[in-house]
Structure 1
Amino acid sequence: MASFYDRKILPALLTCACSSPPMMKQRAKVVPQAQGKVLELGIGMGLNLQFYDPAKVESVAGVDPAAELRVRAQAAPRDPRLVVEVADGTAEALPFEDASFDTVVCTFTLCSVHTPRAALDEARRVLKPGGRFLFCEHGLSPDSDVAKWQRRVEPIWKRLAGGCRLTRPVASAIAEAGFALERVETMYVPGTPRIAGWNEWGSASA
Structure 2
Amino acid sequence: MGLASWYEANVMPRLITCACSQGQVMKRRAAVVPRARGDVFELGCGGGINHGFYDPAAITSYAGIDPHPGLLDGARAAAREKGWAADLRQGRGEAIPFDDARFDCVVCTFTLCSVDDPRQVMAELRRILRPGGEVLFLEHGRAPDAGVRGWQERIEPVWKRLAGGCHLTRPIAGALAGAGFAVETLGEGYTPKAPRFAGWMEWGVARREAD
TM-score (norm 1): 0.96
Q: Does 1:154 align with 2:127?
A: no
CA deviation profile, 1:35-84 (whole Å, cap 9, x unmatched): 00000001120100110001101121010011111001111267745332
Q: Secondary structure at the match of 2:133?
A: strand
The one-letter code of the counterpart of 2:96 is: L
TM-score (norm 2): 0.94
For residues 108 and 162 of structure 2, what CA distance do their matches in structure 1 show?
22
Task: Tell me how far 1:181 sits from its aligned partner.
Answer: 1.0
The one-letter code of the counterpart of 2:95 is: A
Task: Tell me how far 1:201 sits from its aligned partner.
Answer: 0.2
Q: From the two aligned structures, give the one with the greater helix fraction.
A: 2
Task: Tell me how far 1:183 sits from its aligned partner.
Answer: 3.1
Q: For residue 138 of structure 2, what is the aligned residue in structure 1?
A: 136
153-162 or 15-24, larger mean C-alpha shift = 15-24
For residues 81 and 204 of structure 2, what CA distance do their matches in structure 1 show?
24
Task: Tell me how far 1:196 sits from its aligned partner.
Answer: 0.5
Q: For residue 172 of structure 1, what is the aligned residue in structure 2?
A: 174
For residues 94 and 48 of structure 1, what CA distance do their matches in structure 2 show?
19
Q: For residue 61 of structure 1, what is the aligned residue in structure 2?
A: 63
Task: Flag the 1:37–1:77 CA change in 2: closer, same or farther, 3 A.
Answer: closer
For residues 29 and 80 of structure 2, what CA distance do their matches in structure 1 show?
14
Where does structure 1 differ by over 4 angstroms across 4 or more consecutive aligned residues?
none
Q: For residue 7 of structure 1, what is the aligned residue in structure 2?
A: 9
For residues 80 and 11 of structure 1, what CA distance do their matches in structure 2 show?
21
For residues 161 and 134 of structure 2, what CA distance do their matches in structure 1 show?
32
| Partners of 2:79 and 2:86 within 8 A in 1 | no
| Partners of 1:108 and 1:136 within 8 A in 2 | yes
The one-letter code of the counterpart of 1:18 is: C
| Partners of 2:107 and 2:136 within 8 A in 1 | yes
Q: How many residues align?
A: 206
CA deviation profile, 1:12-32 (whole Å, cap 9, x unmatched): 111211111111111111000
The one-letter code of the counterpart of 1:108 is: F
| Partners of 1:171 and 1:184 within 8 A in 2 | no
| Partners of 1:57 and 1:82 within 8 A in 2 | no
For residues 33 and 12 of structure 1, what CA distance do their matches in structure 2 show?
27
Task: Tell me how far 1:171 sits from its aligned partner.
Answer: 0.3
Aligned match for 1:50, one of 52, 58, 66: 52
Aligned match for 2:124, one of 118, 122, 125: 122
CA deviation profile, 1:108-161 (whole Å, cap 9, x unmatched): 000000011111110010000100110000000000000000000000000000
Q: For residue 190 of structure 2, what is the aligned residue in structure 1?
A: 188
Task: Flag the 1:72–1:203 CA change in 2: closer, same or farther, 3 A.
Answer: same
Q: For residue 19 of structure 1, what is the aligned residue in structure 2?
A: 21
Identity %, equivalent residues? 55
| Partners of 1:42 and 1:109 within 8 A in 2 | yes
Task: Tell me how far 1:97 sits from its aligned partner.
Answer: 0.7
For residues 28 and 78 of structure 1, what CA distance do their matches in structure 2 show?
21
CA RMSD of aligned residues (A): 1.4
